[in-house]
Amino acid sequence: MSRGPALCGAMLAAAALAGCAALPPRAPPPPAPAAATPPAAAVPATHVVKVYVPKPVKCVPEDLGPPPAYPDSDGALRDAGGAADRYQLLAAGRILREQRLARLEDVIKRCRNASR
């Protein structure tokens, strides 16, 4: 009797496999609907834009010149005869520096105003 249930199970499995093989093939899926083509885009209007680049302004004038030779250099102060001579050299150097600074500040102010 042990053969009966095994034989029955084998026949049932064979019938199931045969039934799957006899099924008709699946129909292919329908094609995707065609996307509606968008209307042609309008060609953008072409226009020319002229960009004017400002010319660089030369801020430093030609007549500014190099800094002067200041009389109160280290060597001149060492070679001075006494305290009064050193004081005069320092005073002369200070006057020249103040004049140069005033000239440079004027140039900087004109340069800032020219860039506006």
Kindly report, residue by residue over 30-58, the tens digit of the pLDDT: 888 877 777 788 888 888 999 998 887 78
| pLDDT given for residue 34 in this prediction | 78
Percent with pLDDT over 90 in the chain: 39
Instruction: Identify whether 44 is part of a domain.
Output: no
Q: Is residue 48 part of a domain?
A: no
DSSP states of 47-78: -----PPPPPPP-S-GGG-SPP--S--HHHHH
- Residue 51: exposed, middle, or buried by beta-carbon count in 10 A (0-12, 13-18, 19+)? exposed
Output helix, strand, coil percentages for the chain, rounded to the nearest 5: 50, 0, 50
Q: What integer pLDDT is reported at residue 91 of this predicted model?
A: 97
Asked if residue 111 is part of any domain, the answer here is yes
Is residue 100 situated within a structural domain?
yes
Q: For the whole model, what pTM was predicted?
A: 0.49
Look up the domain containing 110 and give its range: 82-116
Q: Is 116 within a domain? A: yes
- Does residue 111 contact residue 59 with C-beta atoms inside 8 Å? yes
Does residue 105 lie in a domain region?
yes
